[in-house]
Amino acid sequence: MGLDGVELVIAVEDEFQIAISDSEASDCTTVRKLVELVHSHLRHSSKDPCPSQHSFNLARQKLIDLLYIQRNEIKPDTNLDEIIPKKNRKNLWRQ
């Protein structure tokens, strides 16, 4: 995992107040894997909607807003490196 990936993990940890191990982070290569990882660290109520679907929808909407890409371009198995441009990537992680 490169520096960009480490910065993404740190940003996710800060945003969700969770701790992600190095081994978990190294396996986090797609939107689905990132959402599932965050989901696995959060507590959920049985009254909540499907947490993984809800998490994916929130992550997808944020990516759409930040990257100005179409909704259908972001699927659970979409590789993050393919949709997040290297230029200004550090700034995008923060957002």
Q: How confident is the model at residue 72 (pLDDT cuts 50, 70, 90)?
A: very high
Query: How far is Cα 8 from Cα 6, in angstroms, rounded to an integer?
Result: 5
- This prediction has a pTM of 0.51
The conformation of residue 69, written as its DSSP 8-state character, comes to -
Question: How many domains, in total, are found in the chain?
Answer: 1
User: What is the span of the domain harbouring residue 86?
Assistant: 3-94
Residue 48, both tokens? 């909540």
Angle of helix 31-41 versus helix 3-16 axis, rounded to 10: 40
Mean pLDDT of 53-75: 87
How far, CA to CA in Å, does 79 sit from each of 19, 35, 43, 46, 82?
22, 12, 26, 30, 5
Residue-wise pLDDT tens digits, 7-62: 888 888 888 888 899 999 888 888 889 888 888 888 655 555 676 787 888 889 88
